[in-house]
Amino acid sequence: MKFVYDFAEGNKDLKDLLGGKGANLAEMTNLGLPVPPGFTITTEACQQFLSAGTHVDGLAAEIDEHLATLESAMGRRLGDPDDPLLVSVRSGAKFSMPGMMETVLNVGLNDDSVAGLSRQAGGNDRFAWDSYRRLIQMFGKTVCEVPGHEFEDALHQAKVAKGVQDDVQLDAADLRALVSAYKKVFAKHTGHDFPQDPREQLDQAVEAVFGSWNADRAVLYRRQERIPTDLGTAVNVVAMVFGNLGADSGTGVAFTRDPATGEQGVYGDYLSDAQGEDVVAGIRNTLSLADLERLDKRSYDELMQIMATLEGHYRDLCDIEFTIERGKLWMLQTRVGKRTAAAAFTIAAQLVDEGVIDLDEALNRVTGAQLGQLMFPRFDLAGSPDSLTRGIGASPGAAYGQVVFTSQQAVEVAASGAPVILVRRETNPDDLPGMIAANGILTSRGGKTSHAAVVARGMGKTCVCGADEMVVSATSFAIGSHTVREGDMISIDGTSGRVYPGEVPVRPSEVVQYFEGDLDPARANDPLVAAVHRILTHADGKRRLNVRTNADTGTDAARARRFGAQGIGLCRTEHMFLGDRRELVERLILARDETERNAALSALQPLQRADFLDIFREMNGLPVTIRLIDPPLHEFLPSLEELAVKVAVQREHGRRVEHDEQLLAAVRRMHEQNPMLGLRGVRLGLVIPGLFAMQVRAIAEAAVALAAEGGNPRPEIMVPLVGAVQELETVRTEAERIIAEIVGSSGVEILIGTMIEVPRAALTAGQIAEAAEFFSFGTNDLTQMAWGFSRDDVEGAFFWRYLELGIFGISPFESIDTDGVGRLIRIAAEEGRAARPGLKLGVCGEHGGDPDSVHFFHEVGLDYVSCSPFRVPIARLEAGRAAV
C-alpha cells in the first residue's frame, strides 16, 4: 500500500485518500499555481495508525523518500543548522472540519537551526526566535498535551516584565528568553526536553495530527455535521513560507464570490506581517483585499488572476488561503467554499446564467436543508429600538436570547429551555458545544472567515462577528456607556450584522412569502427568490416522486397546496376528535348498549363529514388519504391519576358523581401497560362496532357532496396498523358495502388501502396487497417496531449514548435506517407490486420530509412522499435532486 503522495502525484478527485486539502493542493500544483512543495500522507495511513495505536509499517521509509525529494526541490535539508528547511504538518480530512484538528508549524527548528533561519531571513533574529517559540508552543500543546495556558502565562509574564502590551513589542532577546521559559514548561509537563532532532519532531507531529481525528471537539463536530467516524485525516507536510517577515509579507483568506450573499466579486481578509492561523482565529481585525491592492499591487494582481483560474477550473465559488513572503505570493489551500443557504441558491443560478453549469448541476449544488434555512423568519424592525452596534453579518437569520459568555453557560442555560446568545471576543474550537446550544453567536473580533463565522455558517446558525465597538469582559459587554450583562436579552441579525437590545419581533422569510403567493411586489425581482423559483421549478420537472402533505384541516391543506403539495398523504382523523368533541368520544366509550353507542357515533358523523368536505374542497382534484382512527381511545380520556384523585376527593366529601365514577371505571378498564402495542389502529375498528363504519360513511358522504357541487374529490381510505391481510379484509368488506350504498351513481371513486407500519405487514406484503389498492409506509411506527424503540421515550433516554458510541450517526426516527427499516420497505414494495402490479406506494412517516430519506424512497421506487406542509418544498427539491 502506498502511504505518501507527492503533490504532483495527486488530484482533486482523490479526497478520500488525500483529504480535501491534500487533493486540492495537488490540483493547484498541477495547474502550475505557486504552491510550496510538499507531500500528503494518506487517510489510510491514519486509519491504520488509529486502529493499531502504534506507527504504521513502511510509513517512515516512504516519508524518508518524499522528504528527500522535498529537500532537493527546496535546496535545503530539514532542520539544517546553516540553512534549514522548515515544514508545516497540517491535518486535512475528506470533509472540511475547520479548526477541529491539529496543525504544527515551523517543524525543523531547534537550538542550532534557529540561527540558520535568522540568516535566511536576512539576519532577522527576532523572526527566528519568534518562530522557534511558536513551534515549542504548538508542538507542546498538540503533540505532548502541555496545557496551552502555561505557554500563554509565560508570554504574558514576558510582556509584563518588559512593561509592554503587544507581542510585537518583544525583541529578539526577549523571545530568546521566552524560548528558555517555554522549554522549561515543556520539560516540566513531559518529563523530557523539547526534541532537538528535526526528524523526530516531524514523526511525532504526524502522529499527533493522526490522533487529533479523535479529539473530543472533532468527534462532536462530526456528529453534528453527520461526517462518518472512520474516515481518518490525511496529513500534509509542506515547505514553510512565512507571512511574518515584515511589512512586505502577510497572510490572508479569500473567496471568489461573497459567501454570505452570493454577490459577485471577490471577498477576503488580509493581515500583514502575520502567520498561519492568525486570520482565521480572528485575533486581530483584518484588512480588505482592496487594502492589499494598495499595499502590494503585484501580489494582488497575481492573486486575482489565480482566483479567476480557480473559479474557472472548479466551476464554483472557491475559498483560498494564501501567504505573501517578501512580495512573493504562495497558495496554501483552496477548496470549493462553504456558503450560506442564500448564497448557495444565488450562486448556482448565477453560474447557470454565466453558462458555467446547467440546471441539473445547479440543482445538485443546493440542498433541502439549505432551502429549509431560507424559510426561517427574520426580524421585523418597525418600532424596534436602535441597534446597539453593528458587526459583520457572518451567518444569516434572526436570533434572540439571553446573553452568556462561556460555552458551558450556553449549554446550561439552553438546557433549561431558554434561548441563548453566546457572546465571545472570538471563538475557538473548544467553544463548539456552546455554539451548538446557542441560538446565535456574537463576537467582537474576526471577519467573515473567522472560526465563529465558518462554523456558524456550516451549522446554519445566526452569527454576527467583528463587532469591534464591543468591549467584552467576563460577565458583561460594553458599547460606549451602554452595558449589557449576563442574562440580559439581545437580538442579533446575521444578515445586517446589527445587534439590538431586548427581543425584536420577527417577520416571515421572503421565500415563504413567495410560496404563499404574497410576496411584496417590490421584492418580486429579488435574486434569491428568483433563484429558488428557477431551481425548484427545475426540480419539479425532473422528479419522479410526487410530494403530498400530512394535513388534518382545510387550512393546513390549503397552505400545503400553495407550497406545492400534490395531495394529502395522511390525514390523521383522531385530530378531529379533540377539543370540545372529546365529550362525544367519551360518550362513545361509556356507552352501555348499542343505542347509546349509535347515538354517540351519529353525533360525531356530521362533524367528521364537514371536516372531510372542507379538506376535499381545498384539495379538489388531488388525492386525499384519510386514515381511520389510530390511537388507543383512552388517549381521549382524562389521565388515570388525575381522575382517581378527583373521584377520591369527591367520595371523601360524601359526594359521588356518577359520570366521574363511570369514567374512572372506563379508564381503569382501558388502561394498558404498552398502549402503543395495544388496542389501537385496525384493532379498534374490529373491536368497537360502528366506529370505522361511521368514518367511512362520513368520507363517502363528503365526497358525494363535493361531486354534487361539481368538484372532483379523490378520497383514499387508509387502515392503520394492519399486520395480517385478514384484518384488512374484514374492514374492507364492511367499507365497500357502505361506500356502494352512499356513492351510488355519483361517479365518486374511493380507494381502500393500508399503512405498512407493523413489520409483519411488510413481511407479508404480497398477501396484504391482495386487499389493498395502495400502501403507505408509516415509518414512525415501522421504525419503532423494527428496532423495538419506544418512539416517545428513547430520544432523551439513551439515544445520546447510541450516538456517542456511533451505533448510529443520526436518530433512526429522523432519517430512515436504510439497512433495517429500509429493507422492510424494499421487501414490501417488491412483494406488494409483484402481487398487484400498479400498487400505489407512498410514505407518510416523518421521514417523508427528511432529505436523505427522500433519496432512499426515490431509489426504492415509491410513488410519493408525504410530509408536513413546511417541508413540502424541501421534499420537492430533494426528490428532484434524487432524480438527476
The residue type of 412 is E
Q: Find the shortest distance in angstroms from Cβ 153 to Mg ion.
A: 59
Q: Is residue 533 flagged as an active site residue?
A: no
Of 845 and 851, nearer to ligand PEP (C-beta) is 845
- Cell 524560548, located at residue: 179
**Which one from 66, 451, 538, 858 is the annotated catalytic residue?**
451
Q: Find the shortest distance in angstroms from Cβ 630 to ligand PEP.
A: 6
Of 370 and 779, nearer to ligand PEP (C-beta) is 779
Positive/negative CA dihedral, 220, 221, 226, 230: negative
State yes or no: 145 annotated in a binding site: no
Q: How would you list the strands of the sheet with 4-6, edge to edge? A: 4-6, 38-41, 233-239, 87-93, 103-107
Helix, strand or coil, per DSSP, at residue 649: helix
Beta strands in 97-240 (DSSP E): 103-107, 233-239
Residue 467 is a binding residue for ligand PEP (CB under 6 A): no
Residue 780 is a binding residue for ligand PEP (CB under 6 A): yes
Q: Find the shortest distance in angstroms from Cβ 856 to ligand PEP.
A: 15
Residues in contact with ligand PEP, total (CB under 6 A)? 10
CA distance 685 to 697: 14
CA angle centred on 760, ends 758 and 766, rounded to 5°: 115
State yes or no: 76 annotated in a binding site: no
State yes or no: 627 annotated in a binding site: yes
State yes or no: 9 annotated in a binding site: no
Which residues is 441 bridged to in the sheet?
A: 422, 463
CA distance 531 to 522: 16
- 778: closest CA among 861, 719, 819? 719
Per-residue binding letters, 759-778, with ligand PEP (x by CB under 6 A)? -------------------x
**255 phi and psi angles, rounded to 5 deg:** -120, 145
Q: How would you list the strands of the sheet with 420-424, edge to edge? A: 389-390, 498-501, 489-493, 398-404, 420-424, 440-443, 462-465, 392-395
State yes or no: 778 annotated in a binding site: yes
CA distance 293 to 604: 76
**Whether 465 contacts 474, CB under 8 Å:** no
The answer for residues whose C-beta is within 8 angstroms of residue 52's C-beta and 6 or more apart is: none
Site residues (CB under 5 A) for Mg ion, limited to 597-616: none
Residues in contact with Mg ion, total (CB under 5 A)? 3
**Which one from 46, 318, 571, 844 is the annotated catalytic residue?**
844
CA distance 544 to 863: 7
Residue 611 is a binding residue for ligand PEP (CB under 6 A): no
Residue 757 is a binding residue for ligand PEP (CB under 6 A): yes
Q: Find the shortest distance in angstroms from Cβ 833 to ligand PEP.
A: 21
CA distance 19 to 95: 7
Site residues (CB under 5 A) for Mg ion, limited to 730-789: 757, 778, 781
State yes or no: 549 annotated in a binding site: no
Site residues (CB under 6 A) for ligand PEP, limited to 839-878: 844-845
Of 627 and 881, nearer to Mg ion (C-beta) is 627
Q: Is residue 844 flagged as an active site residue?
A: yes
Q: Which does 570 bind (CB under 5 to 8 A by kind): ligand PEP, Mg ion, none?
A: ligand PEP
Of 337 and 849, nearer to ligand PEP (C-beta) is 849
Residue 846 is a binding residue for Mg ion (CB under 5 A): no
Residue 781 is a binding residue for ligand PEP (CB under 6 A): yes
State yes or no: 737 annotated in a binding site: no
Of 557 and 704, nearer to ligand PEP (C-beta) is 557
Site residues (CB under 6 A) for ligand PEP, limited to 641-700: none
Q: Which does 845 bind (CB under 5 to 8 A by kind): ligand PEP, Mg ion, none?
A: ligand PEP
The answer for residues whose C-beta is within 8 angstroms of residue 475's C-beta and 6 or more apart is: 405, 485, 486
**Phi-psi label, residue 408: left if phi above 0, alpha if psi -120 to 50, beta otherwise:** alpha
Of 484 and 816, nearer to ligand PEP (C-beta) is 816
Among 390, 572, 587, 760, binds ligand PEP (CB under 6 A): 572
Which residues contact ligand PEP (rule: CB under 6 A)? 570, 572, 630, 757, 778-781, 844-845
Which residues contact Mg ion (rule: CB under 5 A)? 757, 778, 781
Q: Point out the residues that are catalytic.
A: 451, 844
Binding positions for substrate: 572, 627, 757, 778-781
